[in-house]
Amino acid sequence: MGRKKRAVSSSGIYHVISRGNGKQYIFHDDQDFSVFKNYLKSALNLYDLVILSYCLMGNHLHLLVQTEDIGEMSWAMHYSLGKYAGYYNAKYERAGSLFASRFKSIPVICGEYFFCVVKYIHNNPVKAGLVGGMADYKWSSYGEILRGGSKSLVEYGALLAYYGSDSSSQKEDFVYQHHVPSLIPDELIEDYPLTEAEQLKVFGGGYDLKVLGKAKSMEQDERDALILGLKIDAGLTNKAIERLTGISVVIIKNVCLKFVRNV
């Protein structure tokens, strides 16, 4: 059986994730981080894509990329990961695959979900307890974007354009969006990512995400109606509903089964 085709993003934006094989460390020192960044820069000269944000962690990496051709993204990642694996194996005198299977590429729509993903990427080192603030981490684009300059790996002008048309307030809004509570749990960005259709349903104005967060405390009839709306009207998976509402999959299944029996 061949590999499942990658989902194509209508916005051309993808959250790319790659991990070390067996969750092993892929970066050990500043030289490793710098070498990988240089390979990424070379890939940008060879292939048609831009990097909107990034974060390199010890055993994995996150990129937010934009391209009109998903094939260009695949070639760029194969180039960067392949080149770096060769460098790493030579430096540390090892053989075999450095990265776990193929990299993930999750379509990202513009708007509120986009802001959640950018914040998630930049907040990785804070969440891991490596630094106290996002600006303190050396190997992410958060500080680069705030400082500006021509040596950044990211197209920070392209990224900041999503934070408003007024260039004088874009960085202010960028910082603000990184320090407000996320509208969705982190799990729905990486572990159980919402499909593009789910993103459009949830963030398209049909649901108040603050209300979803209070679903567990609703009266049963109101809660069940909400579950059925998310399941039938929005077409969300049980796992996505669980992550958005905090209601267990068992309860969600029972509500749906009861509905089917009464139809």
Structural domain containing residue 148: 13-179
**pLDDT at residue number 56:** 97
* 174 occurs within a structural domain: yes
**pLDDT at residue number 246:** 85
Total domains, the chain: 2
* 185 occurs within a structural domain: no
* 184 occurs within a structural domain: no
**pLDDT at residue number 150:** 63
Query: Are 104 and 142 within one domain?
Result: yes
* 109 occurs within a structural domain: yes
Residue 38 predicted with pLDDT over 90: yes
Query: Are 47 and 86 within one domain?
Result: yes
Residue 1 predicted with pLDDT over 60: no
pLDDT average, residue stretch 11-15: 95
Residue 138 predicted with pLDDT over 80: yes
Query: Are 148 and 32 within one domain?
Result: yes
* 190 occurs within a structural domain: no
Query: Are 63 and 125 within one domain?
Result: yes
Query: Are 41 and 148 within one domain?
Result: yes
* 3 occurs within a structural domain: no
Query: Are 160 and 53 within one domain?
Result: yes
CATH number of the domain that 95 lies in? Answer: 3.30.70.1290
Query: Are 40 and 117 within one domain?
Result: yes
* 186 occurs within a structural domain: no
Q: With bands split at pLDDT 50, 70 and 90, how would you rate the model's confidence at 95?
A: confident
* 199 occurs within a structural domain: no
Residue 3 predicted with pLDDT over 60: yes
Query: Are 124 and 238 within one domain?
Result: no
Render pLDDT for 195-244 as a digit per residue (tens, 0 to 9).
Answer: 888 888 888 766 777 778 788 888 999 989 888 888 887 778 888 888 88
Cβ neighbours of residue 167 closer than 8 Å, sequence gap 6 or more: 160
Query: Are 161 and 243 within one domain?
Result: no
